[in-house]
Every structure is written in C-alpha cells, then in structure tokens.
Amino acid sequence: MSLQELKRTPFHERISRLSLPQNYRRWAGYITVGSYDLGLDREYWAIRNHAALIDISPLIKYEITGRDAARLLHRLTPRDIQSCRSGRSTTPAGATTRARCSTTAPSRASPSNASA
C-alpha cells in the first residue's frame, strides 16, 4: 500500500505542517507524522519534562457500526456512550471477567447501514 492510499487522521493536515523533517510512517492503515523536529533530543526532553503532541487516532481497536451501535456500546460499558456524537471516539471502560475496570480498548460508534 502506497503512502497516498493510507488513511489520514482527523488531525493529519494540521500536525503535518508542524513536522519539520516531514517524515511519515505507516501505522495501522494510517499515515502519521514520524517526528516533529530534525533531531530527537528536543522531542525526548519535551515528552519527559513538558508535553508532547501525539496523534493516537490509529489506536482504534474496534469500530462498531450500524443503526444500534450506540445502544449496544451503551449496554456494554458503564460510560454514557449516548452522549458521544457520531464520528467521535471515546475510551469506554469495560468490566473484565473479574469485575476490574479496563480502559484499553478505544472504540468509535458510527451509525450506518452496516449491521453491528
């Protein structure tokens, strides 16, 4: 798959202008910025001591679609999925088999003609 065929994240246009070296990498079917500065030292220390801008859009684990997608997610998780607008994503907390809370599965509900 060529770079032109890869999906763009919602932040791609804006953050690609911030990348000085304009280096990109493939990540889960998306094209993402590899780094923002010409050297890695400043980015490393920014992450360590201040803040970093990282587009994690490709981390989506599940995309549940269909007319009842939001209703299904609302029943599966303790989060208020109904308030998550279409096309937006959230990290729903899910209970494990031992009733521990887990927030490691980002998901997105999108109503469409496809079934859930």
Query: Of 45, 69, 60, 55, nearest to 18 (Cα)?
Result: 55
Query: Of 28, 23, 22, nearest to 9 (Cα)?
Result: 28
Structure tokens at 112: 């469409």
For 20-79, the pLDDT digits (tens) are 999 999 998 999 998 888 988 988 998 899 988 788 888 876 777 888 887 888 888 777
* Residue 113: strand, helix, or coil: coil
Question: Which uninterrupted H or E stretch holds 50?
Answer: none
Q: What is the pLDDT of residue 112?
A: 46
Query: In sequence order, what are the beta bridge partners of 90?
Result: 107
- What is the sign, positive or negative, of the torsion defined by CA atoms of 89, 91, 96, 98? negative
d(CA 33, CA 90): 22
